Every structure is written in structure tokens, then in C-alpha cells.
Structure 1
Amino acid sequence: MVNPLHTKPPKQFVAEFFTTFTDAVVHGSEDASDLMSRYYTRDVVQVADGVPLHWDHLLAHLRPLRKNLREFRFEVHEAFTDGGRIATRFTIHAQMRKGGPVSTRVHMFAEFTPDGLLRRAEQLTRFVAPAESGAGE
């Protein structure tokens, strides 16, 4: 099996992975658990700002996301791969049901399975002002 990380440029892989997943969450009607199983392993661990999130935590996050996220865009600034691992820096631009636009910078180191499922991720995040979101490119 060919790892999807090896068939696309890393920036494209990251953008497509998160965009297609988020689009399916927001606009789709598929059961959240079934949807997650197409993108994440059952033993996934995503450490976000020091807080470990496992399958059930991530699944619970989808319900409010499905209800509150209106628009989104992933701006991938850089991404590098080494086998099934990726290091990337991207900004999530979001418009929620209530409130103004929100931009979050993400620095992520992740491990994917050979079939492209996210197994583990370590993320550092910070909110950024809209004018700052593309800075340093």
C-alpha cells in the first residue's frame, strides 16, 4: 500500500486531509464515529497544548463543531515529511455561528498510518489576529 504522504506534496496532503475531514463534519450527515474512522485510528492520541485527546474526546468535539462552525479554511504555510511522519505549520481560519472570525496558528508533528490515518499528533496552538495570520511566509 502506498502511503498518501508519498503521493502528494506535503502541504497539499495537510490541506486536503483537514479540509475534507472538516467539510464532512460541517456539511455531511454521516455518523460522527464512522466519519472519524476514515481519518483517525481508534488508538489516536492528539496532544493539543499539553492536553492529550483520545478517540472519545475527539469524537465529542465534533458535535459542537458540526453545530457552530460556518466557514473555514486551512492555510498551510509549510510541511515536511519523513516516512509516515509530518511536521507542519498552518493556520485555521474559521467563522463560527456566533462571533467574528477566528484564526488559530497550529504547529504540528504527526504520525500517519500507511493508509493515511492520523495515529498521533503533538500540537501547539495560538490565536492570531487576522492581519498576523499570514505573517512570516
Structure 2
Amino acid sequence: MKDHKKLIKEIFQNIFESPGYNEAIVKRYFSTDYVQLVDGKTLHFNEFIKHIKAVKEAIASMSVTFDTIAQDNDIIFTNHRVTATTKEGRTSEVQVIAEFHIQGGQINYCNELTRQISGDPREGDLGSRH
């Protein structure tokens, strides 16, 4: 069985923790058929691209800490925390519970719940902003 846990960590490092937006990197890791269910919203690939761009426009830096990561064949479950600092200097921490499906080496589905642990309420929608 292929270790997709390493892939998930690589994705978060290369897309979310890295500064700036690089669509080629996003397309390397996410299928164009990608669907994300997040906090009661459904994002398809193009909305997901808008989500990443919106986060990158608002956030100066971001770090991800995985509390739990488990794999069952091509499904990865994570319980992780995201700490972000906005370009205005506000810091926020969000807990994320997510289920990722991998197909052909790319994520094609994610079901995610986010909960703001601390920080300004203006960053409460970072998991689904687009």
C-alpha cells in the first residue's frame, strides 16, 4: 500500500505553508474533478482554486501541525491545526478534521470540518473562504 500520509503532508507544505500561489503545484496535487465539502459548503475545483487564492491574499504565513493522520487504502484522515497570521498581523488557530480520497496520485475528494480555536472572528471562515 502506498503511503499517502506523506503525500498529504507534502501538499500542505508545498501549497499552504509556502508563500505565494502557484497553480501548477495545485494542479499537480488536486484532480480537476476535485470536490470539497467544507463547513456546509461544496467547492468544486474552480472554487477551490479561488479559495486558495483568497487565503493567500489574506495570509502572510501559515503553519500546519498534524495531531492525527491515518490511512485506510486510498483514504486519509487528519486531525490537524492551522496557525495563520494575516497580512494585518492578526493570528488565528483553526482545528481541521478532514477525510481525503486519493486517486491516481491526486486528491479528488475532501470532506472537512473546521473550528476556530483562537483569533479574530474575521478569520473564522479561512477553511472555506473563496
TM-score of Structure 1 vs Structure 2, range by shorter chain: 0.7 to 0.9
Q: Pick from 82, 85, 107 the counterpart of residue 92 of structure 1.
A: 82
Pair 1:120-2:109 in alignment:
yes
1-structure distance, mates of 2:17, 2:88: 19
Contact 2:80 2:97 in 1 (8 A): yes
Verify the 8 A CA contact 1:88 1:107 in the aligned structure 2. Answer: yes
- The TM-score, its normalising length taken from structure 1, stands at 0.76
Which piece of structure 1 moves more, 118-127 or 93-102? Answer: 93-102
Please report how far the alpha carbon of residue 129 of structure 1 lies from its aligned counterpart in structure 2 after TM superposition. 2.5
Structure having the higher Rg: 1
- For residue 64 of structure 1, report the CA deviation from its aligned partner: 2.4
**Given the two structures, how large is their TM-score scaled by the length of structure 2?**
0.80
1:28-43 matched pairs, under 5 angstroms: 30=22, 32=23, 34-43=24-33
The structure with the greater share of residues assigned to strand is 2
- Does 1:27 pair with 2:20? yes
Q: Over residues 79-132 of structure 1, what are the superposed CA-to-partner deviations in whole Å (9 max), with x where a residue is unaligned?
A: 1101110111000110011241111100011101242x11101001100027xx
| Stretches of structure 1 lacking an aligned partner (at least 5 in a row) | 131-137
Q: Which residue of 1 aligns with 2:97?
A: 107
Residue correspondence of structure 1 range 47-62 to structure 2 within 5 A: 47-62=37-52
Compute the RMSD of aligned alpha carbons.
Answer: 2.0
User: In the alignment, what sits opposite 1:15?
Assistant: 9
Which whole-Å CA distance do the structure 2 matches of 1:13 and 1:103 have between them?
23
Paired residues, number:
119
Give the drift of 1:4: 4.5
Partner SS, residue 38 of structure 1: helix
Which amino acid is the alignment partner of residue 16 of structure 1?
E
What SS class does the counterpart of residue 52 from structure 2 fall into?
A: helix
5+ residue gaps in structure 2?
A: 120-130
Contact 1:110–1:120 (CA under 8 A) maintained in structure 2:
yes
Q: Is the 8 A contact 1:15 1:75 kept in 2?
A: no
